[in-house]
Amino acid sequence: MSISREDIEKVAVLARIKVDGEQVSALEKDLGNILDLVDQLSAADTDSVEPMAHPLDAVQKLRPDVVTETNQREAFQAIAPATEDGLYLVPRVIE
């Protein structure tokens, strides 16, 4: 699978990344190599492989779900610049 120069330029615009001509050529080659590797991995027969959560069968130690701090909501609300009905009011960012 290959990626075109136009695709790279389009993604750069969407990501708001400035990419010059030399970088586009290098990215075209590098991303093409990555996509070729993905194609190779996709071709591997994995039907007989059992899915696993961790390659070492590690067990995650869980801590008990216990509240360890007192409720300080009122104290935090008191020092907040603006609150209403227990909610923090913030300036509108997106119109």
27, part of any domain: yes
Q: Determine, yes or no, domain membership for 72.
A: no
In a domain, 83, yes or no: no
Structural domain of 35: 5-42
Give the DSSP per-residue string, 16-80: T----HHHHHHHHHHHHHHHHHHHHHHHS--TTPPP-S-TT---PPPPP----S---HHHHHHHS
Mean pLDDT of 65-77: 94
15: confidence class by pLDDT, cuts 50, 70, 90:
very high
Determine the 3-state secondary structure of 9 from DSSP: helix
Q: What tens digit of pLDDT does each residue of 21-56 get?
A: 889 989 999 999 999 999 999 999 988 988 887 788
Q: If you average pLDDT over residues 53-70, what whole number do you get?
A: 86
In a domain, 37, yes or no: yes
Does the pLDDT at position 95 exceed 80?
no
In a domain, 14, yes or no: yes
User: Considering the domain boundaries, does residue 58 fall inside one?
Assistant: no
User: CA dihedral defined by 30, 35, 41, 47, rounded to 10 degrees?
Assistant: 160
Q: What's the structural domain count of the chain?
A: 1
- Tell me the average pLDDT of the chain: 90
Domain CATH for 9: 1.10.20
User: In this structure, is residue 35 part of a structural domain?
Assistant: yes
